[in-house]
Amino acid sequence: MSQIYNRVALIGLGLIASSMFWAIKRAGLAGEVTGYARGQATRDTARRIGLCDRVCDSAAEAVKDADLVVLCVPVGAMEQVARDIAPGLKPGATVSDVGSVKRAVIEAVAPHLPDDVYFVPAHPLAGTEHSGPESGFAELFDDRWCILVPVPDTPDAPVAQLRALWEGMGAYVDEMEADHHDLVLAVTSHAPHLIAYTMVGVADDLRRVTDSEVIKYSAAGFRDFTRIAASDPTMWRDVFLNNKEATLEILGRFTEELFALQRAIRTGDGEHLHDYFTRTRAIRRGIIQAGQDTDAPDFGRKKTTQ
Ligand SMILES: NC(=O)c1ccc[n+]([C@@H]2O[C@H](COP(=O)([O-])OP(=O)(O)OC[C@H]3O[C@@H](n4cnc5c(N)ncnc54)[C@H](O)[C@@H]3O)[C@@H](O)[C@H]2O)c1
Ligand SMILES: O=C(O)C(=O)C[C@]1(C(=O)O)C=C[C@@H](O)C=C1
């Protein structure tokens, strides 16, 4: 793979930034990668493990002469970081981010950027429950989607360049409008995380009653919930506070369905339960038959979602 940017700056050195660094290095996608994190301890760790070609002690120093600057901080910190980097950005540079919410990030970041840079928000649909500079790995984005959400009137070239970077890091790339992104992600990621947090909280309450049996005998499904519920509290607090409308809409629908299922159990309405589970099983099978399961060994690189 050939070099796509001369110099890339990563702001915030956690799971996503560190994975980007290793993936960029794996494929030789940038000449130099600089990095900055707010905490001295994070910068020290980054230096110790060789994360970034150069770790800088200020955001301004990290973005100096960068052709691409990627904001890899929690959604609630994006605005402050945009303010910090704005005066030091190189004219013609591209600014991007990896935030899990797009509309709120665009509204927080765009007003602070100078007119002579391009803003191409992005969201890699890949992660783990771990965070921090030591949690990243080069393969995180392999065969995962990355959604680009270009703001209106962005020329094609900076979008195509960023697409090439994400493809070089192993991802499939799609473009989406911000509100649509936030609604889709509320269904596929945000609401499921809240449900996992809740379920683990309920089990923890129960544990006090049953003296650890809940955890001891937890089956695979619940273990997956505990993994998800171990995700970074700051990141997820910011996701929910910044994708309020879509998350509340989905949770409202979820609660209605849950009440209907609850009622079916109480009244012994086996037909309702069976029909419901038959429908959901068909959905999973449909995903596999349509070839849209990225975990499937034969998932093709040319597949698109829309
Ligand atoms: N973890 C995931 O599964 C995942 C997946 C896709 C996208 N994202 C998004 O990526 C972003 C980063 O997530 P992560 O998982 O890498 O988080 P992380 O906690 O691993 O890393 C965040 C980094 O940002 C730094 N930071 C926080 N506030 C800062 C500030 N004001 N200035 C400078 N640095 C600051 C932290 O010190 C840390 O180094 C978030 O916006 C998140 O929504 C996360
Ligand atoms: O696998 C996980 O740990 C994740 O939750 C990753 C996950 C997701 O919901 O799929 C979480 C948040 C992101 O914004 C993107 C990806």
- The CATH number for 191's domain is 1.10.3660.10
Q: Is 189 in the pocket of ligand 1 (CB under 6 A)?
A: no
97/188 same-domain check: no
143/234 same-domain check: no
Is 34 inside any structural domain? yes
164/254 same-domain check: no
Residue nearest to atom 6 of ligand 2 (CA): 127
Task: Give the structural domain span for 28.
Answer: 5-176
Helix or strand (DSSP H, E) at 226:
helix 220-228
117/170 same-domain check: yes
248/186 same-domain check: yes
Kind of pairing between the strands at 145-148 and 122-124: antiparallel
Final residue belonging to a domain, choices 176, 194, 224: 176
Residue carrying the six token digits 């890091």: 169
Helix (H, G, I), strand (E, B) or coil at 169: coil
125/235 same-domain check: no
Nearest ligand to the C-alpha of residue 237? 1
CA of 257 to the centre of ligand 1 (A): 33
The pLDDT value given to residue 209: 62
11/96 same-domain check: yes
- The CATH number for 122's domain is 3.40.50.720
* CA gap 253, 271 in Å, rounded: 21
Q: Give me 115's structure tokens.
A: 């007119």
Nearest ligand to the C-alpha of residue 236? 1
CA of 190 to the centre of ligand 2 (A): 9
Nearest ligand to the C-alpha of residue 58? 1
pLDDT in tens, the chain (306 residues): 699 999 999 999 999 999 999 999 999 999 999 999 999 999 999 999 999 999 999 999 999 999 999 999 999 999 999 999 999 999 999 999 999 999 999 999 999 999 999 999 999 999 999 999 999 999 999 999 999 999 999 999 999 999 999 999 999 999 999 999 999 999 999 999 999 999 989 888 877 666 667 667 777 788 889 899 999 999 999 999 999 999 999 999 999 999 999 999 999 999 999 999 999 998 888 777 777 777 776 665 444 443
The pLDDT value given to residue 249: 97
Residue nearest to atom 31 of ligand 1 (CA): 77
148/201 same-domain check: no
CA of 298 to the centre of ligand 1 (A): 32
What Rg value do the Cα atoms of the chain yield, rounded? 21
Is 149 inside any structural domain? yes
Q: Is 121 in the pocket of ligand 1 (CB under 6 A)?
A: no
The pLDDT value given to residue 293: 76
56/110 same-domain check: yes
CA of 129 to the centre of ligand 2 (A): 8
Count of structural domains, the chain: 2
